[in-house]
Structure 1
Amino acid sequence: MTTQPDDTQQAEAGTEQVHDLRSALERLRRHPGQLIETDHPVDPIAELAGVYKRIGAGGTVARPTQIGPAMIFNGVTGFPGWRVLVGLMASRKRVGLLLDAPPERLTHRMTDAYRNAIAPVDVGPDKTQCQQVVHRADEDGFDLRKLLPAPTNTPDDAGPYFCLGLVLSSDPTGEKGTDVTIHRLCVQSKDTLSIFFAPGRHIDAFRKKAEAQGKPLAVSVNMGLDPAVYIGAEFEAPTTPYGYDELAVAGGLRGRPVELTRCLTVDQRCIANAEVVIEGEILPDVRVAEDQNTHTGHAMPEFPGYNGPANPALPVLKVTAITTRRDPILQTLVGPGEEHVSLAGLPTEASIYNACDKAFPGFVSEVYAHSSGGGKFLAVMKVNKSSDFDDGRARLAAMVAFGTYTELKNVILVDDDVDIFDTNDVLWAMQTRMQGNLDIIAVPGLAGHVLDPSQTPEYDPRLPAKGVTSKTIFDATAPYALREKMFIRAPFRDVDPRPWAPQLFGQDGQVADGEAPAPGGDAPVSRPKANHQG
């Protein structure tokens, strides 16, 4: 193990602008209720995730759960000196704070970043913080199971997982550049991980090219990052086609390029200010059962909310080095939680909005990738009808959404008087502006996502393969010709309520202390303060 001095750490941690994980945490510390720390000891095996399930996981996690603060565990059993962060992006409101946008405008913020992308740049050792501490696999005593506190989400997991490992690799032929994606990585031995690729992932295409040549694929696994990097990396084809480097979206979000540096033991690059980097190679023609060490039959909880089956044959990543910052923070997530909704959902929203805006400028004004679909399966789309013709245009916009984001399963269309972030308002529109025999359109036999257990031939024998599904449009918009006659909402007078209930409202007219539910389900977790004004 070697170390380098951390002479820039303190200065950078206090800067206002977010540029890495530590500056993101500093920003949250200035917003009460967004980040908590605990020194109480916690076991990374099932206990850590079990604690956060109750505090702030949200998403498709089994109830009881809620939207709550991000959390840093400073006392991780068996790993002195390590801190584990969970839930950094597990709130749309919190992501808005970190990406400099109101939560209801994050779709447009992501769209602008995609349209104004800035490619990453290479930097030298003087700007490389991720290699302040170096562990090489060719050294005696190297065991990643003892070096890194990889958690498990449940007692049934196949093993410890790195759930926020951003894998970076390059096309071995040099034709298609570099790609980054988050994949589930299960610890298999002292120096190996299994890696799961959903169908169509670009790094898997790189792996197959290398394997066809009998060669390993060099990768870096980057953890503990500026949230802009994680979220920008989740754009998918066709929005970011094969060969597109998604790190450019993070550059667009921050207005400056992501900085990369050379790995120490493989011919690859890594993110220079990452908290943790795993260097290694995906081996050709080597496969391993995901649960070979536990035989639980399960993998880990994925975004639909289920413990999926362990994969019987996954590619193997041979670890060659682990590098970290001094006093490192391992970042993780609760698999089905609201953090996945932010990671996957915001790029989903921006991709759909961008495609629809190109096809029908101004017609689709808002898109929300709903938490119940893990940010992938369900989109609520607000359309702005101005003629009878737009009754058909709304449904066509839903078809554009399906073509833009392959894994999308259901679309709910609503009018411009509906709050797409308020599930009760969306369900109200479905109850009063939709007839099942007229306004539900199902399109069978389309490509979907293999992690949905209903998208299997076992569920429906008519499906030809796992990951094929029926996609559905729920048109909860009022027919344009009838809007003024039958579908005008009751016109309440707009009154400032503060003179009557000052204890409930701040000076800006909003519920005091930020306790109003924010877009994406940030429900209040405390009671309004009493009125002490006499």
Structure 2
Amino acid sequence: MKALSLRDALGECCLTHDVALPADRIAADFAVRFAGVPATSHTRPEPAVRYTATGHAIPVLLGMYGDEERVRNWLPGLPERSTVDSVAKLLDQRAEPEHVTKAQCQQQVSSLAALPVLRATPRDAGPFLTMGLVHAGEALSVHRMLVLDDSRLAIWMVPGRQLLALYEKNKKLPVSINIGAPPAALVASALSSAILGGVSKLEIAGALAGAPIAVAEGVTQPVRVLADSEIVLEGYLDGSTADEPPPVSLPEFLGYDGDARAGLPVITVTAVTTRHNPVYQAVIGPGREQSVILGLAGALSVALSGTDDDWRLIDDLHFSASGGGMLTLNVAIRKKSARDDERLTDVARRIFAQHRFVKLIVFTDPDVDLRNPEDLWWAVTTRANLGTDCHAFGDFRPLPMDPSQAPDWRGGHGGTTRTFVDATTPFALNTQRSFG
């Protein structure tokens, strides 16, 4: 059995073919016509759309991950519900990458200029790679990368990420950048490395795919590439730095403009290779794609965060697209005794402490569909009195991309609190219910 590639997944999709547009207009067209929350106010799955970028031979693919059910169907090993037992089984099924002789990318193109790299808005600092899966050592992660010229990229690495730690140890670090990587590898890349405790993300990707992920040796650098990618860049972090032109870089996953960064590490690109008739995959910044990828991986990461009795209360986890797949977490709780009514505070505090992007947790009973906003808000309306069932913790680090946590929010009332809502039925009142 072979792990599903992006090309395989494309064969299962109903692609929308659009007219040719300049590369700097494609993202705006997708946002208006196809994107869902939080790029627009439309709650809808996104179709997979292929654009022809004028002046480029390689088409652009957007929206591929914009439908959670579609992505789930590509990952046979993904648990239906995220629980202690289901993620333990996932770890047991992890598969070592399969080393192959040659990658699918055998055609070498002239330079980065051959790629139809997008600008999401006219305010962007420049054209950004947004779906390049960076692989170096055991690090596997997606970063925004600004195209500086035909052979150089500036990369933003969030502090605490595995790739940045490798770079700080070795200023000349070989990397591969895999565009159009297998879906299982892309979802696994968003898992928390700290939670995995040394388990390789590519091994987890193999478990999600139900088959090992194929890797091959690079042609110009001592680095592995994901063999079934559409486009592969090889290069190295060389110790030099560059600035993103201010005032803004590109829209973040929540829909707000990100700040331009100074002193970003530079990747010197030594090869750009493609497979036959490749597609260039991107995301537009705000939009459902990132929310789906981050949310699926985030639910697994939270489930992997504990194994004790508190964690065994968790019946399922789901990150809402409205929170960008990171800030708003819905948790179904299956209580077994009246004591469980009092344990949600400890569960919430531990989640906030281990997953710093989580801002709001809503606890529900198992009969509530966590993926249905109307059902979720029905539970909040009928099973919570917010005066007593809404709880806040202070003294957490602020998230720069969330305006409400800025110091000047509401006249200086921005803050670093984290909040949970208990929308569960008290155990004494639910004994006559049957939660399936």
Tell whether the structures are fold-level matches, with TM greater than 0.5.
yes
How far is the alpha carbon of 1:365 from its aligned partner? Answer: 0.7
The answer (yes or no) to whether the contact 1:443–1:472 under 8 Å persists in 2 is: yes
Q: Does 1:203 align with 2:163?
A: yes
Do the aligned partners of residues 69 and 327 (structure 1) sit closer, same or farther apart at CA in structure 2, a change above 3 Å counting?
Answer: same
How far is the alpha carbon of 1:206 from its aligned partner? Answer: 0.7
CA distance in structure 2 between the aligned counterparts of 1:114 and 1:305, rounded to whole angstroms: 34
Do the aligned partners of residues 290 and 404 (structure 1) sit closer, same or farther apart at CA in structure 2, a change above 3 Å counting?
Answer: same
Match of 1:44 among 9, 19, 23: 23
Do the aligned partners of residues 260 and 148 (structure 1) sit closer, same or farther apart at CA in structure 2, a change above 3 Å counting?
Answer: same
Q: Which amino acid aligns with 1:287?
A: T
Per-residue CA distance 1:352-400 (angstroms, 9 max, x = gap): 2233554446421111111111111110001012321011123322233
Match of 1:322 in 2: 272
Matches within 5 A, 1:140-155: 142-145=110-113, 147-155=114-122
Match of 2:420 among 440, 463, 473: 473
SS in 2 for 1:343: helix
Q: Which amino acid aligns with 1:314?
A: L
Do the aligned partners of residues 218 and 162 (structure 1) sit closer, same or farther apart at CA in structure 2, a change above 3 Å counting?
Answer: same
Q: Does 1:134 align with 2:108?
A: yes
Match of 2:48 among 70, 84, 91: 70
CA distance in structure 2 between the aligned counterparts of 1:65 and 1:307, rounded to whole angstroms: 21
CA distance in structure 2 between the aligned counterparts of 1:423 and 1:117, rounded to whole angstroms: 33
Match of 2:243 in 1: 289
Per-residue CA distance 1:196-242 (angstroms, 9 max, x = gap): 1112111001111113xxxx11111001121111001110133224x
The answer (yes or no) to whether the contact 2:315–2:333 under 8 Å persists in 1 is: yes
Matches within 5 A, 1:89-488: 89-100=65-76, 105=80, 107=82, 112-125=89-102, 128-130=103-105, 132-135=106-109, 142-145=110-113, 147-170=114-137, 178-211=138-171, 216-241=172-197, 243-284=198-239, 286-291=240-245, 295=246, 297-356=247-306, 358-360=308-310, 362-447=312-397, 449-459=399-409, 469-483=416-430
Match of 2:63 in 1: 87
- Greater C-alpha radius of gyration: 1
CA distance in structure 2 between the aligned counterparts of 1:114 and 1:151, rounded to whole angstroms: 37
SS in 2 for 1:50: helix
SS in 2 for 1:239: helix
Per-residue CA distance 1:268-307 (angstroms, 9 max, x = gap): 11111111111111121x221112xxx5x11111112101
The answer (yes or no) to whether the contact 1:237–1:405 under 8 Å persists in 2 is: no
How far is the alpha carbon of 1:67 from its aligned partner? Answer: 2.0
The answer (yes or no) to whether the contact 2:311–2:347 under 8 Å persists in 1 is: no
Q: Which amino acid aligns with 1:218?
A: P
Match of 1:22 in 2: 7
Match of 1:495 in 2: none
How far is the alpha carbon of 1:460 from its aligned partner? Answer: 8.6
Residue correspondences, number: 433
CA distance in structure 1 between the aligned counterparts of 2:187 and 2:142, rounded to whole angstroms: 10
How far is the alpha carbon of 1:183 from its aligned partner? Answer: 0.3
Do the aligned partners of residues 64 and 44 (structure 1) sit closer, same or farther apart at CA in structure 2, a change above 3 Å counting?
Answer: farther
CA distance in structure 2 between the aligned counterparts of 1:457 and 1:312, rounded to whole angstroms: 22
Runs of 5+ consecutive residues of structure 2 not aligned to the other structure: none
The answer (yes or no) to whether the contact 1:302–1:451 under 8 Å persists in 2 is: yes
The answer (yes or no) to whether the contact 2:288–2:321 under 8 Å persists in 1 is: yes
How far is the alpha carbon of 1:116 from its aligned partner? Answer: 2.2
CA distance in structure 2 between the aligned counterparts of 1:299 and 1:66, rounded to whole angstroms: 27
The answer (yes or no) to whether the contact 1:356–1:364 under 8 Å persists in 2 is: no
The answer (yes or no) to whether the contact 2:46–2:288 under 8 Å persists in 1 is: no
The answer (yes or no) to whether the contact 1:301–1:336 under 8 Å persists in 2 is: yes
How far is the alpha carbon of 1:474 from its aligned partner? Answer: 1.1
Identity, % of aligned positions: 30
Give the TM-score taking structure 1 as reference length: 0.75
CA distance in structure 1 between the aligned counterparts of 2:291 and 2:18, rounded to whole angstroms: 28
How far is the alpha carbon of 1:180 from its aligned partner? Answer: 0.5
Do the aligned partners of residues 18 and 309 (structure 1) sit closer, same or farther apart at CA in structure 2, a change above 3 Å counting?
Answer: same
The answer (yes or no) to whether the contact 1:56–1:90 under 8 Å persists in 2 is: no
> What do you get for the CA RMSD once the two structures are aligned?
2.7
CA distance in structure 2 between the aligned counterparts of 1:199 and 1:52, rounded to whole angstroms: 31
